[in-house]
Amino acid sequence: MTGLMRAETLEIPEAAARLDGSRAAITDIATRMRMLSPPALVSVARGSSDHAANSWKYAVEIGTGLPVASMGPSVASIYDTKLNVSGLAALAFSQSGASEDIVALSAALRDGGALTVAVTNTPSSPLAMACDHTIDLAAGPERAVAATKSYVNTLLAGLRLLAEWREDAALHAALDAAPDHLGQALVADEQITNALTVAPWAVMLGRGPGLGIARELALKAAECCTMPAIALSAAESLHGPVAAIGPDTAVIAVGHGAGMDSSLDTLSSYGIKPLRVATAPLHPMLDPLMALPTLYLSIEQAARARGHNPDAPTRLKKETVTR
Amino acid sequence: MTGLMRAETLEIPEAAARLDGSRAAITDIATRMRMLSPPALVSVARGSSDHAANSWKYAVEIGTGLPVASMGPSVASIYDTKLNVSGLAALAFSQSGASEDIVALSAALRDGGALTVAVTNTPSSPLAMACDHTIDLAAGPERAVAATKSYVNTLLAGLRLLAEWREDAALHAALDAAPDHLGQALVADEQITNALTVAPWAVMLGRGPGLGIARELALKAAECCTMPAIALSAAESLHGPVAAIGPDTAVIAVGHGAGMDSSLDTLSSYGIKPLRVATAPLHPMLDPLMALPTLYLSIEQAARARGHNPDAPTRLKKETVTR
């Protein structure tokens, strides 16, 4: 059976390649960021886009040594705060570019003196109008409620901006290879599908740039499979929520590396052995991302096996209005 | 039955009053922050302390218009990043002050040029040694695995620093009244206890400064009641995870105000009516906090009703070592 979520997941490699059309805009913004030399950065986003912003935050912090603050839209939309952000740079991530609160915070950041950049799949959106610059995600129309290809392109666009800003040849090379690697990952993982089909609830573990990916997968599992799903830092999981994991909990770890391995060793001593997706290593900031096509397809299949239509999640619409 | 978690929850008002002993240190740090006039701030924390840092972030962003970045300890402990934070101020929150990764990131922030402040219940700890200044939480010895009085004092200390920094008389007055208000909240809420006793899983909703409180309650419910528990921004909940909420899910909303009310109206249209704790209004930045004694006692009772000892959560120790 082919539905929208599955079809759009299969388009991920070609959508990723299409991001090359936004390269000139990204180069221009990177040049301005080098000139500005901000003491800190701000991200603005909700939902899936905020999970992409979280991965971007780790990549920027590790790549530049500068902190990135995720600012809640309510600071502007509810609390009506006058911001004091002269000399800072702010990226607003939104597939639709239509959420009123994201637009309100972006406008407040621009009014407060920040260089503002809209990262959106809709370059004619109110968000793009409210920002100084725009990066077009060029993912193509997305009709599934569950964002897939636009989520991947959000991650890739943020990393390309970082690579341009820092003139990072290794990150550029990895991004050039990303569409091919994503193409190789277009197959569900049977073990993960089975675990998500029978489990009463799921825990997604990530670390560093994989934490935002884990959050996104928990959201996808909750909305498509109609099951409780929590994302945790693999390190944080040892601080408390591990108490609730039982033998039938689906536990899935995203990403590799020393930090993840040491946390998983501790979990293993409790008898918890998370499932992991094998991907060919590309670059530490990109590796968790490369697991996404496989995980989307696995969640999509599990949703159907549980008797849910992943293209019609309960109570959800494509665009959510919040203030 | 009286256990450690219950006994320490009942000590919250006197522990809160004891924080007055740290007032001179807080005043001194606030003076330095006014002189520094940082373009952005950084928080460093894990687990419960990180949930307190999240509430502090909202209060600082709303109160000053400056962004606060929550930096993941792994940026220093795993990725060994040289930080570029000259002129910024960083607060590191840790009850024990002993977590190696929190200490490593705090040291990296100081080496990178930030003004660093340890907020800890252990002023002789490695964290205090690694920072320029220390705020002693003065909560007294905490022996329960689930932090209660030290969590409340972390929130109060952060707000007192903000009040001193901004010379905010209304916030000072509210903080002066906090121990009395907390004393009035030392009673469990029967509806919430019952919901947490029978529900298969729980959702805690918050907004603005209430979001960190909701995260903390989800952690407490998971570790004490051995049940899946998720915290969501009341606004974010409309973006996806709402799909998984069923008629038997325990849904608890923390905090009040326009933003929370508009989100709850939408949830209500889906038939979801969260339980709320009634507290006398004190100050928008403090109101979610005032519900904590009631919620701790409710969770503690529900844990026992579910057959668990809240003082001996599965797999957990008082101090968690992560890197």
Q: Do residues B223 and B241 both lie within one domain?
A: yes
CB B99 within 8 A of CB B46: yes
Buried b (16+ CB within 10 A) or exposed e, B239-258: bbbbbbbeeebbbbbbbbbe
Question: Could you tell me which residues come within 8 angstroms of residue B116 by beta carbon, excluding any fewer than 6 positions away?
Answer: B89, B90, B91, B92, B106, B109, B110, B130, B131, B132, B133
CA distance A92 to chain B (A): 14
Which one is predicted more confidently, A40 or B315?
Answer: A40
Q: Cβ of B244 and A263 within 8 Å?
A: no
Across the range B191-202, mean pLDDT stands at 96
Q: Using DSSP, state whether A176 is helix, strand or coil.
A: helix
Q: Is the pLDDT of residue B299 over 90?
A: yes
Q: How many CB pairs under 8 A join A and B?
A: 221
**E strand or H helix at B229, and its extent?**
strand B229-233
CA distance A145 to chain B (A): 9
Q: Cβ of B61 and A68 within 8 Å?
A: no
Q: Do residues A14 and A86 both lie within one domain?
A: yes
Domain that holds residue A220: 185-305
Q: Do residues A155 and A237 both lie within one domain?
A: no
Q: Do residues A135 and A213 both lie within one domain?
A: no
Task: Report the candidate in A190, A265, A201, A258 with the shortest Cα–Cα distance to residue A231.
Answer: A201
In a domain, B317, yes or no: no
Structure tokens that stand for A257 in this block: 């590396």
Q: Is the pLDDT of residue B79 over 70?
A: yes
Give the pLDDT of residue A322: 58
CB B227 within 8 A of CB B202: yes
- B257: alpha, beta or left, given left = phi > 0 and alpha = psi -120 to 50? left
Q: Do residues A163 and A201 both lie within one domain?
A: no
Give residue B247's identity as a one-letter amino acid code: P
CB A23 within 8 A of CB A138: no
Q: Do residues B46 and B117 both lie within one domain?
A: yes
Q: Do residues B155 and B217 both lie within one domain?
A: no
In degrees, to the nearest 5, what angle opens at C-alpha A103 toward C-alphas A100 and A107?
140
In this prediction, residue A258 has a pLDDT band, given cuts at 50, 70 and 90, of low
How far apart, in whole angstroms, are the C-alpha atoms of residue A42 and residue A105? 11
User: If you ran DSSP here, which 8-state letter would residue A81 be given?
Assistant: P
Task: Report the candidate in A185, A235, A230 with the shortest Cα–Cα distance to residue A208.
Answer: A235
CB-nearest to A62 from B73, B81, B270 is: B81
Give the pLDDT of residue A278: 77
Q: Do residues B242 and B100 both lie within one domain?
A: no
Q: Using DSSP, state whether A152 is helix, strand or coil.
A: helix
Across the range A110-128, mean pLDDT stands at 98
Q: Of A159, A182, A205, which residue is a domain's last?
A: A182
- A226: alpha, beta or left, given left = phi > 0 and alpha = psi -120 to 50? left
Q: Do residues A53 and A33 both lie within one domain?
A: yes
Task: Report the candidate in B133, B129, B80, B128 with the shortest Cα–Cα distance to residue B108.
Answer: B80
Question: Could you tell me which residues come within 8 angstroms of residue A238 by beta carbon, excluding any fewer than 6 positions away?
Answer: A263, A266, A267, B320, B322
In degrees, to the nearest 5, what angle opens at C-alpha B229 toward C-alphas A231 and A214?
5
CB B52 within 8 A of CB B100: no
pLDDT tens digits for range A208-256: 999 999 999 999 999 999 999 999 988 887 767 777 888 899 999 998 7
Q: Of B147, B166, B183, which residue is a domain's last?
A: B183
Show the 3-state SS of B87-105: CCEEEEEECCCCCHHHHHH
In a domain, B322, yes or no: no
Least confident of A270-284, B11-25, B303-317: B303-317
Q: Of A128, A152, A182, which residue is a domain's last?
A: A182
Q: Using DSSP, state whether B291 is helix, strand or coil.
A: coil
pLDDT tens digits for range A61-107: 999 999 999 999 999 988 899 999 999 999 999 999 999 999 999 99
CB B115 within 8 A of CB B33: yes
Best to test chain B binding among A74, A205, A233 (most B CBs inside 10 Å): A74
CB-nearest to B75 from A62, A77, A323 is: A62
pLDDT tens digits for range B102-151: 999 999 999 999 999 999 999 999 999 999 999 999 999 999 988 999 99
With 0-12 CB in 10 A as exposed, 13-18 as middle and 19+ as buried, what is B82?
exposed
In a domain, A321, yes or no: no
CB-nearest to B88 from A39, A220, A323 is: A39
Count other Cβ atoms within 10 Å, centred on residue B86.
Answer: 11
Q: Is the pLDDT of residue B317 over 70?
A: no
Q: Cβ of A322 and B88 within 8 Å?
A: no
Number of domains in chain A: 2
pLDDT tens digits for range A160-197: 999 999 999 999 999 999 999 999 999 999 999 999 99
